[in-house]
Structures are given as C-alpha cells and as structure tokens.
Amino acid sequence: MRALLVTSVGVTCAAALTLPLAAPALSAPAAHSASARPPSLSPESPGSGPPSARTEAAPDEANEGGTLEVPEVPEAAPPRTGETRAAAVAGSTQSLPLEPLAAPSDRAVGPAASGQGLDRRTARPFSLVGVVWDDAEAELHGTVQVRTRATGGTSWSDWQDVETHNAEHAADLGSAERASGAVRGATAPLWVGDSDGVEVRVRPEAADPQHPAAVPLPEGLRLELVDPGADPAPEPAPAGRTVTPAAFAGNPVPPATTTAVPEVLTAESAATSAVNADLAPLGATVIPALTKAETEEEAAIVAAGAKPYIGPRPKIVTRKGWGADEKLRERNFAYTKSVKAAFVHHSATGNNYTCKQAPSVLRSIYRYHVKSSGWRDFGYNFAVDKCGNIYEGRAGGVAKAVLGAHTLGFNTNTMGVAVLGTYSSTNPPAAAVTAVSKLTAWKLGLFGANPKGKVTLVSGGSGKYSKGKKVKMNVISGHRDGFATECPGARLYKKLGTARTSSAKLQGR
C-alpha cells in the first residue's frame, strides 16, 4: 500500500510551525504503510525508546490496519518567548540498575530469595516509579515494593506494592510494535507524587514443596524514576484578538470580525492536532462537548452512517491539553479497521492523585510506556480521571480507529479506556463510570456498535485465548475478559453493567 503524507494541513519539514488556531477539516485517513522514524533514545535511560529505524510490515488478517506517515522533523522548536525550559521539555527519566540485596537473616528461605533492590538514596525529583527488565517475554514472579521521600521532606512513606503482572497491557504478539526490539518487560507504573528519595526491593517468589528452587528474577532489572515535567502554561489570546470557535457542517458560526491567533507548534504537535481537525481548531487543548443533535451532524462528516445510534460527544482534553511531548512517540500513526468493542482498564497507578494532577499522571505514564517500556506511544486510546475528565490517549485522532497497546491479543478493532487509579478494593468514583459511559456511547456509536451488545473478536494470542480463537464477549468488556488478569479491578469490573446500560441509553437505544 502506498504511503500518504499529511500535506493538506500544512505540516512541513520544519523545526517549528506558525499555524492559525482555526484550520480546515481533515478527512479520516485510510490505512497506510509505514516508514522509518528518527531516533528516540533517552539520555537518562540508555537503550530505551523506539529504535532509530523501524519498518512496519504489511498488516495481516489478525492485525488489519496501517500507519499514517508524517514528515520528518530535523530538530525541536525553541521555547516560546517567556516559556521556561522546564515547560518546553516535558519531563525526564532516571534509570537505575538494581543491585543484589543482603541475604535475609532466615537462612531457611535460601540465598535466591534475597532478591535485588536499592537502598535509600536521594535522586533528582520524580513522581512515578516502575521496574523494567530486558526480556519482554520474561515474567517477574515475585514482589516489587518501593518507599519514597517527598521532595524537601525528611520522612519516608510506608512500603507500597507495585503491580508486577503488567505484560497483558501490551501490543499484540507478532505486531510491528511488539517485534521492534525495543520493548522490555515492565511492572505497572506507580504514582508516588513529587519525591526526591527512593528505596526499592524486588523479591522472587518463595520456594515451596512443589517448587524447591525459587524462580529466578528476570535479567537486567532497573528502577525507572519518571519526572512528568511542568504542566503546560495557558496561552491567552493577545488583547483585542479572539479565536474563531470550531464549526461543523449544518451548524455554522455567524460571521464575525475575529482574527486567528498564530501559535508556534512543532511539526509533531501539528500532526497530532491535525487528525482531530474535523472536531476542533488546530492546536486546541480541548475538544468541546456537543449535544446529541450536533453530534449527529458531525457524524455525517467523520463517520457517515453512524446515525441514529450515537451518544453526544463528550468534552475531551487533547494531548496538547495534558502536555504530551510529541517528540517521544513514534512519528507515524497506526490504525486498525474499526472499533467493535471497548476494553476498560484501571491504570493500577494508585489513587493518591488529585484531579489537578491527572495531566502529570498521564505524562508520567506516557513517558514510562515509551522511554522505559519501549512502546511506540501511550498504550491506551483514552484515559479517564476520578473526576470524570476524559483525555485523548494514543495519537492518531479521537474519532478514528487508532491501534493501541492495551489488551494483549485484542488490540485489533478495539479501543482501550484506562480509568486512572487502582480499583481492586476501592470503588471507582461515579463520575469516572459516567465518563466511561459517555465516551463509549459516542466512540462506539461512530462505528455502529451497541454498548449492550455482544461481539465476536479473533484473538491475536494471549494468556487466556490462543491465537486465532474466535471469542464472543460484551461490546464493553473489562480487560480480564480478554486476558487472565485482575484488571480493571474487581470494584470497577462490577460497574461495567451500569456503564453498558447508560452508554446504550445515551445512544438512544
């Protein structure tokens, strides 16, 4: 298949672009072949990130779709006037190799149970932690615990458990993303808040009568300390100038003497925003909510045939809105053919965050997925915080069938929604469940899917279903329905029936 350049939106091979905030609509891209991308190696995490050159193979039947190619960018745009370097560069990663721990005093457990870790130490500020290892196919059979010290403080937190079973949140086996050579094994990330001290211990599973020898820990264990960087600063329009709001066919905005305010966007940021140009102006930080009638009018543009069953489009914070550093991700966008189902997850990052901190949590997870775990981008298609705010996840367009890395074996023709937090023993906030209902009513409606219905998907291979097996499941499913995992947590999983009913009602079913 021929590669297609995104030229209709004015994206050029420039370090930075001055583009108007109002832009013409961009039609939905077709599936395309890929091209190589520039290097994305983190100086703080040697060997991390996507490879310097990656060629996507033509998609097969189990992973139908493709990539949208965008132009090469030679270098980063300089910070805008008055912008600090911290705000211009979104975060950093410290990658520390683990060391053997002292053997436990109880000799009965054997020397293998001593594990690996790091003693208490001071580090550059960070807010999220995780442990990675060399082989993505190796599993960590054991426990990972961390404790941290708040920045500027003297006291240390209690030991916190890090979720070790995370391999099921990943690109499908055999996919180009999985076969890139950059992917590593990883725990789930854990949000710890602004910290400057850390201690970690990784213990293998204890031996038992049936397994007299402890399972060895994976090779190359490293502690990842992620700093999300500063929140994006608001950029008010200059005095006397206003911005033209987004308009859709059948709902025009009356003529007015408004002037588009130029904004400096990197080519990567412009490309990410341009694929949402049917929904909001170029450079928008938010895609506004619409009424059901307005949504049906819009659907005629972005998804002809979606009527009459589609929910009102909810407000969605764009990647620009939560401050994604677009230079971290793979340059090209990857797509699948349709969105037949939605898998709901919890991020397992803990519940110790405020809604104001949610953008920082997202930037941290994004950096952990790409620079630490070696993925092409943020794994989930969307995220929802405890206050019910909805966020754009993996780049490629919120109304499009973007190929994610969220449900191993079932990423093709599905979407992944992560509710930020851990909901194994804590009830998810009602606002978060409502947001899942609103989001799925709209996005599934674009592709004609009934939230209360069933769908048959073909497994790409997982810990629950073999490759090629046809599986019938709910259109809105929990991650555990596609993989033997605890995700999305028992408490959130129990709320999915409510989400299905509400989502269908919003569609008008």
CA-to-CA distance for 373 and 47, rounded, in angstroms? 11
In order along its 509 residues, the chain shows pLDDT tens digits of: 433 333 333 333 333 343 444 333 333 444 433 333 333 334 344 333 433 333 333 344 444 556 555 544 333 333 333 334 333 456 999 999 999 998 655 444 444 457 999 999 999 999 999 999 999 989 999 999 999 999 999 999 999 999 997 666 667 777 888 778 889 999 999 999 999 999 999 999 876 666 667 789 999 999 999 999 999 877 555 444 444 343 333 444 444 434 444 567 899 999 999 999 999 999 999 999 999 999 988 887 666 655 679 999 999 999 999 999 999 999 999 999 999 999 999 999 999 999 999 999 999 999 999 999 999 999 999 999 999 999 999 999 999 999 999 988 888 999 999 999 999 999 999 999 999 999 999 999 999 999 999 999 988 877 777 888 899 999 999 988 887 778 888 999 999 999 999 999 999 99
Residue with tokens 């206003």: 242
Mapping DSSP to helix (H, G, I), strand (E, B) and coil, where does residue 185 land? strand
The reported pTM is 0.79
Chain centre to alpha carbon of residue 361: 11
Q: What is the pLDDT of residue 482?
A: 82
Between the CA of residue 181 and those of 55, 176, 270, what are the distances in Å? 12, 9, 28
Q: What is the pLDDT of residue 117?
A: 97
Q: What is the pLDDT of residue 480?
A: 83
Q: Which residues of 5-40 are buried (b: 16+ CB within 10 A; e: fewer)?
A: ebeebebeeeebbebbbbbeebebbebbbbbebeeb
473 burial class (0-12, 13-18, 19+ CB within 10 angstroms)? middle
* Tokens read off for 295: 């949504």
Mapping DSSP to helix (H, G, I), strand (E, B) and coil, where does residue 458 land? strand
Amino acid identity for residue 486 in this structure: E
Q: Dihedrals φ, ψ of 174, to 5°?
A: 85, -10
Residues 6+ apart with CB under 8 A from 81: none
Do 454 and 323 contact (CB within 8 A), yes or no?
Answer: no
Q: Which residues partner with 132 through β-bridges?
A: 186, 222
Amino acid identity for residue 270 in this structure: A
Mapping DSSP to helix (H, G, I), strand (E, B) and coil, where does residue 120 land? strand
The helix or strand, by DSSP H or E, that contains position 202, with its residue range, turns out to be strand 190-204
Beta-strand runs (E) in 367-407: 382-384, 390-392
Q: What is the pLDDT of residue 210?
A: 66
Which pairing describes strands 92-97 and 222-227: parallel, antiparallel, or unpaired? Answer: antiparallel
Q: Closest by alpha carbon to 462, among 180, 163, 170?
A: 170
Chain centre to alpha carbon of residue 73: 23
Q: Which residues partner with 383 through β-bridges?
A: 391, 418
The helix or strand, by DSSP H or E, that contains position 409, with its residue range, turns out to be none
Residue with tokens 């060391």: 99
